[in-house]
């Protein structure tokens, strides 16, 4: 045991010129402060800019929008960053292993089985909870089973996830084809991210879930740093890689399920903010990268909301714009990686 | 110190290692040598609990590596594998700091910083300490990873081909540092080496594997014999003595 180790050689004096404190201390904090000031300013602008009519009328609706922005940013940013960390991969997004597809399929089947009017009828907290629980259970069962089958291989997990996602997509599009036009219209309303029509009564629950998952992730942030070294590297330093992987994937499924059920699917948004956060955080530590990613997410969604609503008068298209920008960034990074180091 | 008991590793029907039994004594450097596919890395990974054996057990300083909590084991034994890919962008110093995780849980103390500084100096990385790893050459990166392992400050150090991409100067320098760690700090070092003569020059003992079995083990002088090496490598070998050290030459 550690106490049985021989006495250490006398520690050398600190090297000249370098204070032996961590060199990354102030810079990441400063960067965070800048991004979060901008993000908060954007949120305040979303709340207050160009209010027509009495403030009391506009405020609840806009506060709901701000809540939706917070939930979507937090969920997608945190989910994507920890997903990248535990899979040792920064190209994939959680949606690649079929979360969005699962949501789409569930919605499509609901409309197919019960008819388009069923969606409106079942809207509410029970529906949101049921959807989320279903996705979490399915995802957890899938990963634990897959990890046991593949001997802990992350690549197998991802590959099967991709295939399952494609299968879900195919079933969805097949069912969508045989829907009546009215049902299809209702369905497509459900499927596109609808930040502007977030249900206010779902928000407290969603915020609470984000808080709970956030606490779990924050407590593991230093272990997640070690997981960056990969399975062998983390194991050598005494971190149970398999446990971190499963905990992270459950967190990812909870976050993505809630965000998707609340604000619709967003494929590239998480990827966009995570990739930017790696560049801008000025540190590899999750303690810096995670808040940076969330801040950038808030800034992007709130900024896009402002521009779309007040410049182009098309607030509903916010997520479409985010996805276009995110998709282009994704392609740029993918192709950029082809260059030799 | 390291007790290996009937350890074997199978993939489906294919046996890649064992069953092997051996004992590595405390202190000193033990070199694992042998032809490709002999099971050197597999054995090292099993000792360092990166790989579960199909059968058998390994005890390091009395601790069964599969039963002991991984976090506790990380203060006793460190292991560096051959390939170390990283997605994150880290500086050399940040990487070396990871070696202190088993002791500090990621919250670096003043003492941790001194260990990090010392490991960086050991491997002559002072000038590169604040450079990004992806801006370094393969050999420089390799030294940074070894520095991380030394910063972990464990009794037992397992290294898989740490000389792989090093030039002669840095290879010799690293072996000297490992020698010093063994002699001055009493560390037990097990190292997979490709270069027999490096093993002969710096190790105390050589353990030669062949086709998953221990072919021969003993002191450098016991192993560095024509007949023994020919048996291990299936190739004609002559051992000469130069400056009173054995030197293996593969006859063309």
CATH of the domain at A179: 1.10.3470.10
- pLDDT at position A179 is 85
Question: Given a cut of 60, is residue A288 above it in pLDDT?
Answer: yes
- Pairing outcome for strands B55-60 and B2-11: antiparallel
Residue pLDDT, tens place only, B120-140:
988 889 999 999 988 888 888
**CATH hierarchy code of domain B1-76+155-165+186-251:** 3.40.50.300
Omega before B19 cis (within 30°)?
yes
Query: Partners of B209 in the beta sheet?
Result: B214
Q: Is residue A277 part of a domain?
A: yes
Q: Which helix (H) or strand (E) holds A332?
A: helix A318-336
What's the CA gap between A191 and A186, in Å, rounded? Answer: 9
pLDDT over 90 (residue B251): no
- How close B234 comes to chain A (CA, Å)? 33
- Chain A: nearest CA to B245, how far in angstroms? 31
Q: Is residue A192 part of a domain?
A: yes
Q: Which residues of B touch A229 (CB under 8 A)?
A: 84, 86, 98
CB contact under 8 A, A239 and B99: no
Angle at Cα A180 formed by Cα A179 and Cα A185, nearest 5°? 90
Distance CA A183, CA A187 (A): 6
A4-29 mean pLDDT: 46
User: Which residues are CB-neighbours of B47 under 8 A, at least 6 positions away?
Assistant: B2, B4, B58, B60, B65, B77, B79, B158, B190
Using an 8 Å CB-CB cutoff, list chain A residues near B105.
222
Which tops the pLDDT comparison, A246 or A238? A238
Minimum-distance CB partner of A20 among B84, B102, B110: B110
- Measured at the alpha carbon of residue A211, what is the angle toward residues A208 and A216, in degrees to the nearest 5? 130
Taking CA atoms, A262 is separated from A112, B166, B190, in Å, by: 21, 54, 55
Shortest CA gap A252–chain B (Å) = 19
The domains of chain B are located at 1-76+155-165+186-251, 85-153
- Give a yes or no: residue A230 inside a domain: yes
DSSP E strands: which ranges in B105-204?
156-160, 188-192
CB atoms within 10 A of CB A243: 12
With CB atoms and an 8 Å threshold, state whether A237 touches B111.
no
Query: How many domains, chain A?
Result: 1
Give the C-alpha separation, A308 to A315, whole Å: 5
Quote the pLDDT of residue A22: 42
Inter-chain touch B50–A239, beta carbons under 8 Å: no
Q: Is residue A1 part of a domain?
A: no
A contact test, residue of B1, B49, B60, B74 with most A CBs within 10 A: B74
Domain range for A327 is: 29-35+58-336
Measure the CA angle with vertex A180, ends A176 and A185; round to 5°: 70
Q: What is the mean pLDDT of chain A?
A: 79
| Confidence band for A306, pLDDT divided at 50, 70 and 90 | confident
Residue A209 belongs to some domain of the structure: yes
Rounded Cα gap, residues A270 and A256, in angstroms? 10
CA A278/CA A132 separation, integer angstroms: 29
- What is d(CA B11, CA B31) in angstroms, rounded to the nearest whole number? 25
> How far is CA B14 from its chain centroid?
25
Residue of A nearest to B82 (CA): A232
Whether A286 is covered by a domain: the verdict is yes
Instruction: State the pLDDT at residue A14.
Output: 38
Query: Which residue in A267, A291, A314, A288 sits closest to A78, CA to CA?
Result: A291
Judge whether A143 lies within some domain: yes
What pLDDT digit, counting tens, does each position of B54-96 carry? 999 999 999 999 999 999 999 999 999 887 778 888 999 999 9
Q: Which chain B residues contact residue A233 at CB under 8 A?
A: 84, 98
Least confident range from A255-264, B158-167, B184-193: namely: A255-264
Q: How far is CA B33 from CA B80, B83, B123, B176, B211, in A?
A: 17, 18, 24, 19, 12
Q: Which of A10-19, A44-53, B169-178, B202-211 has the lowest mean pLDDT?
A: A10-19
Nearest to residue A265, comparing CAs of A36, A61, A79? A79
Contact B148, B74 (CB under 8 A): no
- E runs forming strands in B12-96: 14-24, 28-33, 55-60, 63-64, 77-80
Which two three-digit tokens encode residue B141?
A: 């990166």
Distance from CA of B199 to the nearest CA of A (A): 24
CA distances from A179 to A100, A190, A263 (A): 20, 14, 23
Virtual torsion, Cα B107, B112, B118, B122, nearest 10 deg = -60
Q: How far apart are CA B201 and CA A52, in angstroms?
A: 84
């Amino acid at each position: 045991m550690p106490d049985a180790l021989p006495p250490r050689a006398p520690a050398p004096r600190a090297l000249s010129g370098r204070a032996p404190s961590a060199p990354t201390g102030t810079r990441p904090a400063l960067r965070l402060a800048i991004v979060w000031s901008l993000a908060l300013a954007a949120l305040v602008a979303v709340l207050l800019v160009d209010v027509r009519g009495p403030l009391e009328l506009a405020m609840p609706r806009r506060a709901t929008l701000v809540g939706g922005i917070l939930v979507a940013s937090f969920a997608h940013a945190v989910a994507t960053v920890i997903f990248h960390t535990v899979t040792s991969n920064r190209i994939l997004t959680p949606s690649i292993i079929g979360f969005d597809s699962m949501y789409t399929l569930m919605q499509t089947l609901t409309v197919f089985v019960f008819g388009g009017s069923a969606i409106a009828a079942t809207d509410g907290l029970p529906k949101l909870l049921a959807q989320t629980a279903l996705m979490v259970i399915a995802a957890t069962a899938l990963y634990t089973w897959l990890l046991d089958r593949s001997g802990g291989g992350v690549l197998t997990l991802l590959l099967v996830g991709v295939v399952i996602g494609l299968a879900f997509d195919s079933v969805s599009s097949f069912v969508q084809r045989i829907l009546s036009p009215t049902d299809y219209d209702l369905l497509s309303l459900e499927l596109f991210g609808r930040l502007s029509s977030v249900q206010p009564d779902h928000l407290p629950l969603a915020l609470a879930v984000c808080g709970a998952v956030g606490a779990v992730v924050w407590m593991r942030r230093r272990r997640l740093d070690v997981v960056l070294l990969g399975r062998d590297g983390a194991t050598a330093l005494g971190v149970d890689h398999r446990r971190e992987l499963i905990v992270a994937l459950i967190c990812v499924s909870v976050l993505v399920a809630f965000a998707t059920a609340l604000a619709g699917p967003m494929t590239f948004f998480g990827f966009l903010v995570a990739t930017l956060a790696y560049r801008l955080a000025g540190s590899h530590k999750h303690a810096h990268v995670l808040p940076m990613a969330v801040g950038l997410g808030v800034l992007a969604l709130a900024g896009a909301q402002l521009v779309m609503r007040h410049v182009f008068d098309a607030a509903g298209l916010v997520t479409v714009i985010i996805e276009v920008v995110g998709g282009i960034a994704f392609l740029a990074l993918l192709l950029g990686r082809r260059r030799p180091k | 110190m390291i007790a290996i008991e009937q350890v074997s590793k199978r993939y489906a029907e294919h046996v890649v290692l064992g069953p092997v039994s051996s004992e590595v004594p405390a202190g000193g450097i033990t070199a694992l040598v042998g032809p490709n596919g002999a099971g050197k890395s597999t054995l090292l990974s099993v000792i360092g609990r990166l790989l579960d054996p199909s059968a058998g057990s390994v005890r390091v300083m009395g601790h069964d590596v599969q039963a002991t909590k991984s976090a506790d084991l990380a203060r006793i034994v460190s292991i560096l594998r051959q390939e170390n890919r990283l997605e994150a962008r880290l500086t050399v110093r940040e990487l070396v700091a990871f070696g202190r995780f088993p002791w500090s849980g990621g919250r670096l103390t003043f003492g941790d910083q001194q260990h990090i500084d010392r490991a960086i100096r050991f491997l002559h990385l002072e000038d590169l300490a604040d450079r990004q790893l992806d801006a370094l050459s393969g050999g420089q990166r390799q030294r940074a990873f070894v520095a991380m392992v030394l910063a972990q400050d464990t009794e037992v150090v397992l290294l898989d081909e740490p000389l792989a991409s090093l030039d002669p100067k840095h290879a010799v320098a690293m072996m000297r540092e490992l020698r010093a760690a063994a002699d001055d700090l009493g560390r037990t070092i097990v190292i997979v080496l490709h270069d027999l003569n490096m093993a002969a020059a710096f190790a105390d003992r050589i353990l030669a594997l062949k086709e998953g079995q221990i072919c021969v083990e003993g002191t450098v002088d016991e192993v560095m014999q024509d007949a023994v090496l020919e048996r291990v490598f299936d190739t004609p070998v002559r051992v000469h003595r130069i400056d009173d050290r054995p030197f293996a030459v593969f006859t063309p």
